[in-house]
Amino acid sequence: MTTAGDSTESGLIKREANRRRTFAIISHPDAGKTTLTEKFLLYGGALGKEAGAVKARGGRRSATSDWMALEQQRGISITSTVLQFPYRDRVINLLDTPGHRDFSEDTYRVLAAADAAVMVLDAAKGIEPQTLKLFEVCREREIPFLTFINKWDRPGKAPLELLDEIERTLVVEPTPMTWPVGIPGDFRGVIHRSTGVYTRFERTARGSTIAPEEEVAADDAEARDGEWWTHASEEVELLDEIGRNVDLKTFLAGESTPVFFGSALTNFGVRFLLDGVVDLVPSPAPRVLADGNRRALDAPFSGLVFKVQAGMDKAHRDRIAFVRVCSGRFERGVTAIAERTERQFSTKYAQTMFGQDRDTADEAFPGDVLGLVNANDLRVGDAVYVDQAASFPELPAFAPEHFMRARVKDTSKFKQFRKGLIQLDEEGTVQVLRDQDLGDQAPVLAAVGPMQFEVATHRFTDEFGAEVELTATPFTIARRTDEASAPKLNAMQGVTVMARDDGTLLALFESRYWMDRVLKDYPELTLERMVAEGGLN
Ligand code: G4P
């Protein structure tokens, strides 16, 4: 793109979009996502000179995304945050995906706003169950991903074994960008494969400052690191021979993954990974619209709502819609239109996020993420725009596999209960399904993972002041159906048709066996699969 000397508005937007790298980190809990995020910020200069602000450890102050009491009790990260920081001459937007296995639906939405992902593996554990599930989400969304093999400072698997595991399990070709010198547990440095340069790292105390690096010439390397160096260079030769080189085309198609070795804790290899993000992750491209056309980057402002979150912190009891900018220049204060309701809303309080600290966003470009405060009309999947209408393809709904009936404990709190139902449904915390006869008296809450119920129960009490009682239901699986099929399904035993607020009808079955029978015996009935049924949790 040659927009360097272009002083027009269009030139500015394209230039700024070109500088953006918008990606998410995916990993199995404990592989090191939080540590790596922290170190990215350190290398991006966003933390001053010391790491330690993302997650409070050992009494350090928290500027964390751990915002809910529940989250703190459990010590896990279940919400997503957006972090923006500069690196080299680029602007990095890091979308934090929820770490808990139950939140794959949420993760999917975050990945809908990302242009790429970084998959973090623990060197001792390789591909873990959650990594695999998250990877499937990436594949479904066709987004390219880099792989960071973390914790190389500790004993772990051999590098070739890890490559083999990636290839076999994910059916993706691993193409190492760096290669480790030293065994896991005695990590000396990495060889950068495209330049052949050997970079030796030095530890700093708990990795709180940038790791000193030294470029070592081949002759020197042998003298200093002896057999580790010889062994690593032989392996690099082998990789060259079998053509395991980073290839942009297959990377962008999700068929190969550039691999980096490192240790987030000691900062080894973190800079190479960030360089990889800048050099390989694609900048925002014109977004596909619902009608199949693409919206040019320099078209008027448009954005995709990928997450709606309430109660971010106790001091600001508000609701934030997270919007990924897809086209144009966003300017704070502009009156935007919410596509679904066609209502106008003010963007006076648009924000960008840094951990819990909020900054006012005066302008934003494609790839950036805005937090729109109190934009109560917005739901996940909605488009927002100015001047020229935009509508994005529907985000797929996940097949819930857990179903609980909800009742308010104190009937005088029914109004609060209803308010909670509407809001939690809109945010996608749980799906709310209603019986035609019972309506809001005893709706069924449906979830992809059971942990969503805990979050919902907690929020009913804490935020809406309506304690709820959840009781088990016999349902185990759901399929999407329609008005024509509903009466027949409802008349059968072991099946109940319930409705979502948006009118979608779901047939809930008590067993998969029974569902399969119905599918076979009544092929004329509509029973559509939803995304990732049985695949993601
Ligand atoms: P997560 O967000 O993916 O769940 O992982 P997180 O970064 O919280 O890391 C999980 C644990 O792994 C932490 O230890 C962290 O210090 C450790 N860790 C992360 N990266 C590395 C690495 O490169 N090398 C080694 N050796 N350890 C690493 P913890 O004991 O749970 O916490 P803490 O007591 O260290 O704070």
pLDDT per residue of the chain (537 residues) written in tens, 0 to 9: 555 667 899 999 999 999 999 999 988 888 988 889 888 888 887 665 444 444 433 333 333 333 344 344 433 333 445 788 889 999 999 987 765 555 556 777 888 899 999 999 999 999 988 788 788 878 877 899 999 999 999 999 999 999 999 999 999 999 999 999 988 888 899 999 998 899 998 877 666 778 788 888 888 888 888 899 999 999 999 999 998 999 999 999 999 999 999 999 999 999 999 999 999 999 999 999 999 999 999 999 999 998 877 655 555 556 778 899 999 999 988 899 999 889 988 887 776 655 445 566 688 999 999 888 767 778 888 999 999 999 998 876 667 889 999 999 999 999 999 999 998 888 778 889 998 777 788 899 998 878 788 888 988 998 899 999 999 999 999 999 999 999 999 999 999 999 988 788 999 999 989 999 999 999 999 988 765 443 333
Contacts of 16 (CB under 8 A, 6+ apart): 91, 329, 365, 366
Contacts of 92 (CB under 8 A, 6+ apart): 21, 23, 40, 44, 84, 85, 86, 274, 277, 278
Give the pLDDT score at 349.
74
Mutual angle of helices 270-280 and 33-43, in 10-degree steps: 80
Return the residue whose CA atom lies nearest to atom 25 of ligand 1: 151
Give the pLDDT score at 111.
86
Distance 455 CA to ligand 1 centre (A): 25
Distance CA 533, CA 510 (A): 15
Distance 63 CA to ligand 1 centre (A): 17
Ligand 1 contact via 106 beta carbon (within 6 Å): no
Closest CA to 112 of 395, 529, 357: 395
Distance 415 CA to ligand 1 centre (A): 44
Distance 450 CA to ligand 1 centre (A): 26
Q: Which numeric CATH code is attached to 287-385?
A: 3.40.50.300
Ligand 1 contact via 39 beta carbon (within 6 Å): no
Residue 163 belongs to what H/E stretch? helix 159-170
Ligand 1 contact via 153 beta carbon (within 6 Å): yes
Long-range contacts of 226-231 (CB under 8 A, 24+ apart): 228/181, 228/182, 228/183, 228/186, 228/188, 229/181, 229/188, 229/198
Distance 252 CA to ligand 1 centre (A): 30
**CATH fold match for the domains 22-79+89-280 and 287-385:** yes
Q: Which atom of ligand 1 is nearest to the CA of 154?
A: 26
**pLDDT one-digit tens code per residue, 455-509:** 889 889 988 999 999 999 999 999 999 999 999 999 999 999 999 887 889 999 9
Mutate to test the pocket of ligand 1, among 30, 130, 190, 266 (most ligand atoms within 8 A of CB): 30
Ligand 1 contact via 98 beta carbon (within 6 Å): no
Q: What is the DSSP string of 323-389?
A: EEEEES-EETT-EEEETTTTEEEE-TTEEEEETTEEEE-SEE-TT-EEEEET-TT--TT-EEESSS-
Distance 309 CA to ligand 1 centre (A): 27
Q: Which numeric CATH code is attached to 22-79+89-280?
A: 3.40.50.300
Distance 156 CA to ligand 1 centre (A): 15
Ligand 1 contact via 57 beta carbon (within 6 Å): yes
Q: Which numeric CATH code is attached to 402-521?
A: 3.30.70.3280
- What is the residue extent of each domain of the chain? 22-79+89-280, 287-385, 402-521
Partner residues linked to 327 by β-bridges: 302
Give the pLDDT score at 317.
54
Distance CA 357, CA 63 (A): 7
Ligand 1 contact via 27 beta carbon (within 6 Å): yes
Give the pLDDT score at 415.
94
Long-range contacts of 430-433 (CB under 8 A, 24+ apart): 430/455, 430/456, 431/397, 431/400, 431/500, 432/500, 432/501, 433/403, 433/498, 433/499, 433/500, 433/506, 433/508
